[in-house]
Structures are given as C-alpha cells and as structure tokens.
Amino acid sequence: MKRNYYLLLMASLLFFAACDKKKDRIFEDSPTVRLNAAVANAQTVLRSKPNGWIMQYYPGTNAPYGGVNLFVNFTSATDVNVQGDYTASNVTSSYKVYPGAGPILTFDTYNSILAYFAAPGAITGLVSNDGGLGGDLEFLVTKADADSVILKGRKRGTLIVMVPMPSNPATVIASYKAAWQAYYAPNSYRFETSTGNIPLTFGWFMELESLTDVYSFRVTPTGIEFLEPVTVNGITVKELTRKPAAVGYPNGYYDNSAGTLKLVPIF
C-alpha cells in the first residue's frame, strides 16, 4: 500500500513538472531561430525604403558635440550610400547585418562621412586624437519596422533614430543642406526671453554653449530640434522654428510655438 502511495506521488510530481515546463516555454522557436529571424527582418527593413533613411546622428557619449542628419540608402545586400547635411560628399561603402546580442548593423569598409565622427584622430585640434568625436560604426538594432529604425552604438550606447526618407530625396536633402548653411552663417547667437537674454557661442561642432550649459541639437528644414528638452530662463522647449526677417530681426530668428523664446543670430 505504502509503495503504491509513493508511486502515485512520484507520478503526480512528474505530471506537474511537465505542465510547468510547458507553461514556462513562452517561445516556440529556439533563441538561435529567433535571432536569425531578427537579423533577416533588420536586413529586409533597411532595404525596404528605395529612397533610404534620414539618420539623426549624434556622436559621443551624451551627445556633447550636437547632431547631424545623415542620408543613408541601403541599395543592396552589401552596399550603402551615405550623404550628410554638413558636407558635399556622397560616399558608397559596404555594410552587413549579423547576429550578436541582437541584430548588429556594421559599416564594415571605410566611409569618410562616418569616419569623420568615428575614426580616432579624425578631427585634429577639436578633441583627443585617440577618441575622435566618439562616433560609432557598429550598432545594435533595437527596433526595425516600416516607421523607424532605432540603433544603439555598441561602444558608447548612444541611441540613433532613422526615419524613412520622403519620396523626393534630392529635394529633401537639398533643404537640409540649405538649413545647415543658414544656421552656420552667423558669427554667434543669443537666446531672448522676457526675463533676459543669454549670449551663446558655437561649441566644438554642432551645438551652442552658454557660460553654464551646452545645447545639443540637429538643424532641420523647419528649424532646430534639440536632442532632449532644454530649459532657458524657465521656458522648456524641444524644437524651435525658423522665422523670416522681421522688424528688429533683419536676419530672422528661431522661436518656440508660444513665441516666448527666440534664438537670434548675431552677424
């Protein structure tokens, strides 16, 4: 009798253990299968836009140099074309997507536009020759779908967002380049608010600096977009819109939607 009791108990325990295993198995596929599927999806998404992507590129940990817009078109399974708002260069190099901690996108041959930010010693006189501007050439693909691709730099962990290029890429790229030139034309800038002005200077590359703060942003065809919301004299903004010349502002200015903060060029 006692022996039958123990046999029944063992059978019950084995039954419940099997049930628990079934409940714990959330994914039907193995980790390797899922990783390979994620790599294939990333490759497919990158190539799915015939006009390419606008890459909102911020080099360095915590984006100390500001950001640029890169125009990236994955034209085949191996080739990528890269342009930038800050340069006239148009460079084709190679890339690949391979499995790692997830899908890894690597620009695996020399590309002068990307190397400008990533190569040690690329910017002599600006920063350490050993560190360059702290850009990345390899990225973990944390999201890849039709709306956007989000990358994470493998060395610095900087998040990079790519959004689809509209249907008129030549016009769009030209508008970004023109906006860049317009932004860089003045000698300096100042913030204006009802409670006072803050003089600004150009920083290392693509940002403005006051005596106490660094403002990191990208130039867009409509104005500037900060990497993170910034607060100036109690006014918090994420973007400023470019406005044409007006009374008292012969060279135009950038302002927020409420008109309470202006970024004014100084020539």
DSSP string, 42-95: HHHHHHS-TT-EEEEE--STT-TTB-EEEEEEE-SSSEEEEEETT---EEEEE-
Find the mean pLDDT for residues 30-36.
Answer: 94
Supply the pLDDT for residue 16: 46
Full strand arrangement of the beta sheet holding 79-84: 90-94, 79-84, 68-74, 53-57, 159-164, 149-153, 138-144, 103-106, 96-99
Residue 144 pLDDT > 80: yes
pLDDT average, residue stretch 217-240: 97
Q: Where are the chain's structural domains?
A: 2-26, 33-171, 185-266
CATH number of the domain located at residue range(s) 33-171 in this protein: 2.40.128
d(CA 203, CA 216): 10
Asked if residue 167 has pLDDT above 50, the reply is yes
Predicted pLDDT of residue 9? 44
The SS3 call for residue 160 is: strand
Could you report the per-residue pLDDT of 79-126, keeping only the tens digit for each?
999 999 999 999 999 999 999 999 999 999 999 999 999 887 645 455
- In this prediction, residue 236 has a pLDDT band, given cuts at 50, 70 and 90, of very high
Average pLDDT over residues 235-248: 97
Residue pair 254/224 in contact (Cβ under 8 Å)? The answer is yes
pLDDT tops 90 at residue 8:
no
In this predicted structure, what is the pLDDT of residue 21?
45
130 — pLDDT class (breaks 50, 70, 90)? low
pLDDT > 70: what percent of the chain? 85
Report CA-CA distances (Å) from 132 to 40, 52, 100, 123, 138: 32, 27, 26, 6, 16
Reading the block at residue 138, the tokens are 């390899």
pTM for this prediction: 0.85
